Amino acid sequence: MAYVMFMTLFGLILGLAAVASNPSPYFAALGLVGVAGMGCGILVSHGGSFLSLILFLIYLGGMLVVFAYSAALAAEPYPETWGSRPVLGMMAVYLLGVTVVAGMFWGGWYEASWVPGDEFGEFSVLRGDVGGVAVLYSAGGYMLVLGAWVLLLALFVVLELTRGLSRGTLRAV
């Protein structure tokens, strides 16, 4: 299990470096799908299967629409790929920075700290993440409305930032 967890965390860091180093929205959206998948895999390994499923479905349903709009408005004739020299250089710089920071904190981490959250699952009637759904909708209703408002605001901010002066592919309309 520790090897699977290590590979999932490595994929998460590699995906984050790929998203941060690529200026093209096409490849950044694909990288974000991979990062969301790896993050949900980490949540599943710690016992949050329902939370992971909901997070992944919300991400794929909502945030990819934002990237589809931004990709449509910021059409580039020759987008930078992951294999181009500037993108590989920035990715190497980001991975080197992560390696240096991880080397500074390496002594305090052990594989024994990667214990799943459902280790005492046979003693409980419900799983921990399913019990939190009722609290999410009862006590956290205001936060859900606030989160929806922030996502709508983020949609307009991304669309305004990607519009620019040339207006992308909607220039002829």
What mean pLDDT value characterizes the chain? Answer: 75
- Coil, strand, or helix at residue 172? helix
- Report the pLDDT value the prediction gives residue 173, as an integer from 0 to 100: 46
As its CATH architecture, domain 2-115+125-172 has Up-down Bundle (1.20)
Question: Per-residue pLDDT tens for 38-76?
Answer: 988 888 887 777 778 888 888 777 776 767 766 666 666
Phi-psi region of 168 (alpha: psi -120 to 50; beta: other; left: phi over 0): left
What is the distance between the alpha carbons of residues 163 and 57, in angstroms, rounded to a whole number? 27
What is the distance between the alpha carbons of residues 30 and 19, in angstroms, rounded to a whole number? 8
Question: Residue 97 is encoded by which pair of tokens?
Answer: 């920075």
Per-residue pLDDT for 84 more than 70?
yes
Question: Residue ranges of the domains in the chain?
Answer: 2-115+125-172
Find the helix packing angle between 128-138 and 49-58, rounded to 10°.
50
Residue bearing tokens 């969301």: 36
Enclosing H/E stretch for 24: none
What is the distance between the alpha carbons of residues 64 and 52, in angstroms, rounded to a whole number? 17
Question: Per-residue pLDDT tens for 1-43?
Answer: 778 888 888 899 988 888 888 777 777 777 888 888 898 888 8
Q: What is the pTM of this model?
A: 0.62
**133, 141 Cβ separation under 8 angstroms:** no
Q: Which residues contact 133 (CB under 8 A, 6 or more apart)?
A: 50
Of residues 117 and 12, the one with the higher pLDDT is 12
